[in-house]
Structure 1
Amino acid sequence: MIVHYLKIAWRNLLKYRMQSVVSILGLAVGLACFALSAFWIHYEMTYDTFHRDADRLYLVGVNDDSFGGSSASFTPYALGRYLKEHYSEIEDYCLFEAETFFVLKDNRMLELPMLLPDTTALRMLDIRALEGDESFLRAGTTDNRIAITEKAAKQLFGTTDVIGQTVTNANWNKEYTIGAVVSDWGVHTNFPYAFLGNGSGRTGWDDYTYRTLVKVKPGTDVSRLLEKMNAHFPEELTKSRYQENTGLTRFYLEPLTGLRATEGFILKNNQTVQFRYITWFAAVGGLIIVCAFINYLTIYIDRFRTRRREMVLRQVCGAGLRSLVTLLCTDFLLTVLAALVVGMVLVELLMPIFLRYSLIQDADFSNYRSILFYILSVSVVMMAIVVLWVWLFQKRSLHGNMHTGNALSGIAWRKGSVILQLTVCMAFIFCTVAMQLQLHHLRNVDTGMDYRGRAAVSIWMNVDMNVWAEKIKALPMVTEVIRPAYWPLLGEGAYSSYLIDGYTGMEGRLEQPLTFDEVLAGEEFFRFYDMQLLSGEWVSAKSEYCQVNIMESTARRMGWNPEEAVGKQLFFVNREQEPMTVIGVVKDCAYKSPTAELPNTVFVNTDQMKWMHARCFVLFKYRPGTWDECRRRIEEMQRAELPDRKLFLYSEEERYNDYLKSEDALSSLLGFSSLVCIFISIFGIYSLVTLACERRRKEIAIRKVNGATVRHILTLFFREYALLLVVSSLVAFPAAWWVMRRWIEHYNRQVEIGFLPFLLIFVGVALCVAACIGHRIWKTANENPAEVIKSE
């Protein structure tokens, strides 16, 4: 019997070719979206889950907003023991430092991550010695021995038999002896390492170089624990030997496995897609799934109605509930099976593109669980619909089943399906257009500085960059070079920060000090970036250290306009230091991420900071279109002359584009999603129109007999779908506009979305719908009415 049902299901797939193709492709696209979204979310949320008791591990942070808050998770060594002694909820703690180990390999500098754990970290985290003896790490003493992972050993030496070998940290020109080969956490961790070494030995409250992990006891209410910690914030953190007032007032406890969703931990300019964009991608995938499933459901229910006579005949011949359910389930299961095959093919085809945009590395993509869940969900829903429909079918009389079909509810269902699909389609298109407009605005709006065609180079350490300034100037691609006394504004930005708790015109002190970024500057630096002076004079070689320029937004936060700010003073938390005097106000320049608020910024005379010159950069301009060649030439010179030094080479334009990496990825995914939605919606509408034409052939024929022309019939259908399009736009556009306004508000420079995008999207979708349904309606309207009535 099952073979008979399979034959009938196959014949139905062929009979309704267009509807079958649309259903299969819609479900397949939904499957691909679901599988990729589930994989991405699962991958991001399973960082560091391999640690023992990972669900009880928390990273301790403080509200340090230096340099935009990127160092909030660095704490002093003494904090770990303090927390363990003062809070019974904390079962254990560990600390470690992280740095980069520079190794010269085949005349190239490799940057490998290194962790410097204390003895508690080795006790609490999953680190195993595979070869050698790692006791030197547990001794807590500083010596020249380090441990290496298997992967790093094979990369550097081609073997894991490396005990006793030496490796040199080129940055500090220090040689280490390998004492052990240890297990590796891989790349699916927020704290990767290739080497393990001994810590710096700084054990006090003043050096914020450690990451502190605490393990809470089972059943601990972490929110209550955090309240207690903040209610008794240690006095040692509120001041230090460097600062009278550090500005620290509260703790944060972030789950170790949830750090990827914590924007304070992931740097704004890190080349990682922000977690909120990943959730948006998942939401987009969810809408595609809903759109595809509703489209499939609508087509399937319409096909139910077209098969009423067939079901009546089977009922007359003795078919029962079980028989009819089995028949219909075989029909949709064959469709689901075909969608499964096509969906798997789509996943394989899209995987390379997906991995490129998601920046996922070294991941085994196992999609069987998510795909099985998707298929089972679709099957369960459809099974419920089949059983309900057959039960209602058997409850009616044969005459009722033959001649009635609850036409009003069927029409309402079809119209609702079309409205939903068009709504999702137009919403996606609008979001994509709005995102592209915002990205175009960010790349072309006046940023207060010109970063195009600018780059910076430095070689650390102990290298005379004045010599390299002449080498860079000799390159034919380079048009201008300035002396090595500055840092690149986008590539590095501020080199230090201050806490300010007072300024001219205010009484008393600020309870919460303000953080100010300090940027090395001078007249040639301002000219290099084409920055604009609004009032006063530039910081120059004649300026004292305490004479500074500030940005316009900084002045306005103090309550001054640019003219009023000149001559005003800013007071350090440590009042023993001479206050800064404003001698000029600079137009705001966006040297931070576009999603970050413009920081309070002061520009100081770089010549007053001579000790920084050994670490400064050569800033230069290059001709348009020559950056790749320019970079290649500089890298070749460095490898030939100073291969054991670390090269820093930045294109300011590339660095600015890095800020928008998440936006570019989401924009591309949204663009693809919009195309998918257009495809699903248009072909879904075509399928519904085809079924509608089949059902209304007799109506159309009678209209033609009564004098209706093809034009009248086309107008009848177009009017119906135009109304549905208008209703969809009235839902889609306000909802999409609200969502995109919320998204655009994250940026410090925002595009204005006018009426034109709404009009163009509406007209474009209307033309697509008209082109989609016009051919099918034209064909039906031109049929011979006599033949139609005769066949009916």
Structure 2
Amino acid sequence: MIKNYFKIAWRNAIRNKTQSLINLLGLTIGLTCVVLIALFIRSELQYDRQFSDADRIFRVNMNGKMGEEAFYAGYTPPPAGKALMDNFPEIESYTRIYRSGAKVIRASTTSAQQKIFTENQILSVDSNFLQLLDYPLSQGDRNSCLINSHSIVISNTMAQKYFGKNNPIGKTLEIEGDNNPYLITAVVAENKTPTSLRFDFLIPISNEKDVTYFDWSWVWLNVATYVKFSPHVAHDIAAIQRLESKFPAMMKQQAASAFDRIGQPYDEFLKKGGKWDLHLQALKDIHLHSASIISTVTDQGNIKYVYFFSIIAFFILLLACVNFMNLSTANASRRSKEIGVRKVVGSTKKQLTKQFYIEAFLLSVIACILSIALVYLIIPYFNQLANKTITFSSLWADGNWIYLLLVVLLCTLLAGSYPAFYLSSLAPISILKGTKSPLKHQGIRSGLIVFQFTVSTALAICSLIVYQQLRYTQVHDLGLDKENVLILPNSKRLGNSEESFKEELKKSSHVINASISTSIPGRGAFGDFYVPLSSNGDQPIAKDITLSSYLTDEDFIKTLDIQLLQGRGFEAAFDNSRAVLINETAAKRMGYKNPMGKFIKYPGGNAAESYQIVGIMKDFNTESLHSPIMPFALFHKSSNSYDIPPSFLVVRVKPGDLVPVLKEMEQLWKAFSPNTPFEYSFLRDDLAMQYESDQRTGKIIGIFSILSVVIACIGLLGLVIFATQQRIKEIGIRKVLGASVMDIMQLLSKNFIKLLLIAFLIAAPIAWWVMTRWLEDFAYKITIQWWMFVLAGISALLIALVTISFQAVKAATTNPVDSLRDE
């Protein structure tokens, strides 16, 4: 019997080629989208699942507030891990991670050849890092590979990059800033499962002078700390919460001396409203649940996008199934007589239901096979778009084929539900007499059309608003001029020749100005808190404040065209070592009526150190537009405010052809530092990188929005074809009586246009609510305006009209003789 059902299903599909092809096309596109989104979501959910003790590992985060500035960061003070393990027996072990920045690495492969590269993915870690986080090793012993202070672990990719097919174990690498070579002791295998910690090199943290220097400090937050719980505690949420409740008492005991050392008694700090709390975050939650947590160590996604894409996948699949249902209702008049005859000759409702479900299943299986083939072809391009490394084989991994089968069954149930239950329940006498026709149930088709275009129009509106916000990030006035600015990173490689190199650059006819700075907008800043003092520099008179800052020179403001509102910049005629420039936000937060001439004291190091405010800068963005402008300062590089060597050369060049200036810079660089690679970037591109994730998300949403409109229009085309076939004689008569092509088009399209307008009215408020929530992630954002809804709605309407017109024009231009001829 089953075989007979499939035969009939196949014959019906062949007989109704147009309907079958339309259904097949819609389902194939829908399933392809669903599979790609599912692979993307699976990749996001797989982060950090591969570690054998992943359930027992937590990151220690810092929830802090200094002055008026609150923050939540994936960093801790250097001694936090040891203190936690010593005070709480529930914690079995800990490891620390520090990212020091880009370094030049050299490998001598032969006596005549030396490979030199600048590497960014370098982590300094404790010796037990690979025991706590057991990344797979292709060579080496994880228990001993990082014990020696000058051992180094490299990834398999780096092994091939520096040594080709040769065995790297036992060979050495030279790292800038260290006179002793590093011995390669282990190689990390290719990691098939994504991880929030990405690295190419691991070196002992004991070699980081900053970390060892601040080993006493509970206010220097630059180390990520991971702890591992005992097995009996890890899965007990209540126990972990009880443990966290004990952290403040430990912090008060441990951090008091460090706060006293910087002139901020801990009790007084808390009374002023300060906060310095440690919190635990499960390793498996880091990637998707850290949108508000500051970290440059981990690769952090956003759970909102997982939810958003899941909803998109569901609705796209629903749109494809609705097409099937819609065309089934439209085709019901043709099938109704078939059903009536079947019932007269003895078919039961159960048998008819099976027949319709098998027809839906057959089309779903064919669509699934076609979509798998499309995924195979598309997945390399999808990886480029989504910045993923998803393989086609992952479609079958971990029993994913079962989920694919469930999707096919879901399509069968959704697509076959109407014909299976409604058509099979019709009484044969009513059908054969024509007293009960499915055509009377046009409300079902109308409702489904409204649903389809509500979803597709809402996605189109969302896509347009996302595009406008991302465009806003490119054109928003940042308070500085980012055009024609070249960045030479890590200029500290020039050593004592750094200033000479800058002056030589400024002599070039292509260069307008150049500056040396510890950082640049978009690359982070040094942060610490300061005490505002009176004009005499002796009494605190305003609120303590946390300042982000750069150390720079006299040319920084002029190079980036930052506006001074009051006072002066750093000038050679003055002693700048005790001068500071602050932004508008810092001036307001301090509470000074007029901050010019006032002092701020850095509580670290020499307590007598203070800096006079000599200028106020107009606010400019040092971070992305996701974050509000924070209190910011510029210190001169001659000050000893903190010990971070300048590492960026900022160069403003004349507009025009950049080839000559880049060639000139490279030649000059090689003259000053022949053994160091010449590297550069554009400030505009560096700032745009902050929105790379948002840009990718926007493109993905845009593509799926277009596909949702296409799926809806495929179904609309099928309905227009059916409507045309049903009214073919009416159209012929109207043409004989003088109706024009435009009249026929209006006849066929006016009802559909009404439904599309209803869909728009429903979609607009839904899209507004969703986008309002999304824009909350941006401190600086566009205002959602009425024209965005109108533009997206008109675009969807025009696409639908083109779809309708295609068939309407064909019907209107048909010779009426052909349509009126007797069958």
When normalised by structure 2's length, the TM-score is 0.83
The answer on whether the counterparts of 1:226 and 1:252 sit within 8 Å (CA) in structure 2 is no
Matches of 2:796 and 2:814 in 1, distance apart? 28
Q: Distance between the aligned counterparts of 2:656 and 2:393, measured in 1?
A: 38
Q: Deviations over 1:673-730 (max 9, x none)?
A: 2321221122211212222333455776798999988766654543322321221121
What is the CA distance between 1:46 and its match in structure 2? Answer: 1.7
Computed over aligned residues only, the root mean square deviation of the Cα atoms, in angstroms, reads 4.1
**C-alpha deviation, 1:213, in angstroms:** 1.9
| 1:323-334 → structure 2 map (5 Å cutoff) | 323-334=351-362
Q: Are 1:237 and 2:249 matched, yes or no?
A: no
CA apart distance, 1:652:
0.5
Listed as ranges, the matches of 1:413-424 within 5 Å are 413-424=444-455
**Residue 165, structure 1, aligned to residue 164, structure 2:** no
Query: What is the distance in 2 between the residues matched to 1:783 and 1:123?
Result: 77
Q: Which residue of 1 aligns with 2:227?
A: 214
> Retained in 1: the 8 A contact 2:461–2:793?
no
Aligned to 2:348: 320
Partner of 1:62: 62
What is the SS of the residue equivalent to 1:500? strand
Q: Compared with structure 1, are the counterparts of its residues 102 and 219 closer, same or farther at alpha carbon in structure 2 (3 Å cutoff)?
A: same
Q: Is the aligned partner of 1:620 residue 2:654?
A: no
CA distance in 1, matches of 2:412, 2:135: 50
Match of 1:671 in 2: 702
Q: Equivalents in 1 of 2:216, 2:758: separation in Å?
A: 66
Counterpart CA distance in 1 for 2:299 and 2:251 is 35
Q: Secondary structure at the match of 2:286?
A: helix
Distance 1:393 1:731, change over 3 A: closer
> What SS does the corresponding residue of 1:299 show, helix, strand or coil?
helix
Residue range with higher mean Cα deviation, 181-190 or 669-678: 181-190
Q: Aligned partners of 2:540, 2:125: CA distance in 1, in Å? A: 46
Given that residues 269 and 593 in structure 1 are in contact (C-alpha distance below 8 angstroms), is that contact kept between their aligned partners in structure 2? Answer: no
Alpha-carbon shift at residue 658 of structure 1 (Å): 0.6
For 1:646 and 1:69, the matched residues in 2 are separated by: 40
Q: Could you tell me how far 1:764 is from its partner in structure 2?
A: 3.2
- Change in Cα spacing, 1:270 to 1:667, as seen in structure 2 (3 Å) is farther
For structure 1, which segment, 35-44 or 190-199, has the greater mean C-alpha deviation from structure 2 after superposition? 190-199
Aligned to 2:723: 692
What is the alpha-carbon distance in structure 2 between the residues aligned to residue 338 and residue 186 of structure 1? 31
- What residue in structure 2 maps to residue 28 of structure 1? 28
Q: Is 1:256 aligned with 2:264?
A: no
TM-fit CA distance, 1:786: 9.7
Aligned positions of 1:530-609 closer than 5 A: 530-541=561-572, 542=574, 544-558=576-590, 564-570=594-600, 576-577=607-608, 580-608=611-639
- Which range moves more in the overlay, 533-542 or 665-674? 533-542
For the 8 Å contact 1:131–1:181, the answer to whether it is kept is yes
Give the aligned residue type for 2:511. T
Structure 2 counterpart SS, 1:776: helix
Aligned to 1:177: 183
User: Which range moved further: 162-171 or 343-352?
Assistant: 162-171
Check whether the contact 1:426–1:732 (CA below 8 A) recurs between aligned residues.
yes
1:351 aligns with 2:367: no
Relative to 1, partners in 2 of residues 1:335 and 1:501: Cα closer, same or farther, differing over 3 Å?
A: farther
CA contact (8 A) 2:564 2:616 kept: yes
Aligned to 2:195: 189
For structure 1, which segment, 738-747 or 621-630, has the greater mean C-alpha deviation from structure 2 after superposition?
621-630
Task: Work out whether 1:479 is the aligned partner of 2:511.
Answer: yes
CA offset at residue 165 of structure 1? 2.9
Q: Secondary structure at the residue paired with 1:446?
A: coil
Q: Distance in 1 between matches of 2:381 and 2:680?
A: 28
CA deviations over 1:747-774 (Å, ceiling 9, x no partner): 3333334333333333333333333223
Corresponding residue of 1:459 = 491
Q: Using a 3 Å threshold, how does the CA distance of structure 1 residues 209 and 602 change in structure 2: closer, same or farther?
A: closer
Matches within 5 A, 1:705-784: 714-777=745-808, 780=811
Match of 1:377 in 2: 407
Name the SS of the counterpart of 1:608 in structure 2: coil
- Match in the other structure for 2:313: 285
- Following the alignment from structure 2 to structure 1, what is the Cα–Cα distance between the partners of residues 567 and 672? 45
Question: Which residue does 1:93 correspond to in 2?
Answer: 94
SS in 2 for 1:254: strand
Mean CA deviation greater in 586-595 or 239-248: 239-248
Q: Kindly indicate whether the alpha-carbon contact (under 8 Å) linking 2:39 and 2:395 is maintained by their aligned counterparts in 1.
A: yes
Per-residue CA distance 1:484-504 (angstroms, 9 max, x = gap): 54345325453x322136677
Code of the aligned partner of 2:530: I
Distance across 2 between alignment mates of 1:342 and 1:191: 37
Separation in structure 2 between the aligned mates of residue 647 and residue 385 of structure 1, nearest angstrom: 60
Aligned residue type for 1:455: L
Tell me the equivalent position of 2:270: none
Over 3 Å counting, the alpha-carbon distance change for 1:280 and 1:60 in structure 2 is same
Structure 1 CA distance for aligned equivalents of residues 800 and 284 of structure 2: 47
Percent identity of the aligned residues? 24
Asked if 1:109 corresponds to 2:117, the answer is: yes
In structure 1, what is the equivalent of residue 558 of structure 2? 527
The answer for the alignment partner of 2:206 in structure 1 is 200
- Mapping of 1:418-433 within 5 angstroms? 418-433=449-464
Separation (CA, whole Å) in 2 of partners of 1:611 and 1:708: 85
Structure 2 vs 1, CA of residues 411 and 465 (structure 1 numbering), >3 Å: closer, same or farther? same
SS at match of 2:680: strand
Cα displacement (A) at 1:431: 2.0
List alignment gaps of at least 5 residues for structure 2. Answer: 108-113, 267-273
Residue 422 of structure 1: CA displacement? Answer: 1.6
Instruction: Provide closer, same or farther for how the CA distance between residues 612 and 85 of structure 1 changes in structure 2, counting only shifts above 3 A.
Output: closer
CA pair 453-636 structure 1, distance change in 2 beyond 3 A: same
- Structure 1 gaps, min length 5: none
Which residue is 2:110 aligned to? none
Offset, 1:624? 3.9
8 Å CA contact 2:340–2:427 kept in 1: the answer is no
The residue aligned with 1:38 is: 38
What secondary structure is seen at the aligned counterpart in 1 of 2:347?
Answer: coil
**What is the SS of the residue equivalent to 2:527?**
strand
Work out the CA distance in 1 between the residues paired with 2:531 and 2:468: 40
- After superposition, residues 495-510 of structure 1 pair within 5 angstroms as 496-500=526-530
Which of 329-338 and 87-96 deviates more?
87-96
- Structure 1 window deviating more from structure 2 (279-288 vs 348-357): it is 279-288
8 A contact 1:24–1:339 mirrored in 2: yes
Q: Alpha-carbon deviation of 1:647?
A: 5.3
3-state SS of the aligned residue for 2:287? helix
- Structure 1 CA distance, aligned partners of 2:417 and 2:384? 44
Q: 1:641 to 1:520 in 2, by over 3 A?
A: closer
Please tell me the residue identity of whatever aligns with 2:377. L
CA distance in 1, matches of 2:346, 2:612: 97
Contact 2:60 2:225 in 1 (8 A): yes
Q: Per the alignment, in what secondary structure is the counterpart of residue 548 of structure 2? A: strand
Give the direction of change, closer, same or farther, for the CA distance of 1:633–1:13 in structure 2 (3 Å limit): farther
**May I ask how many residue pairs the two structures share in their alignment?**
783
- Asked if 2 retains the 8 angstrom alpha-carbon contact of 1:35 and 1:370, the reply is no
| Structure 1, 410-419 or 117-126: larger mean CA deviation | 117-126
Q: Give SS of 1:726's match.
A: helix
The one-letter amino acid paired with 1:219 is H
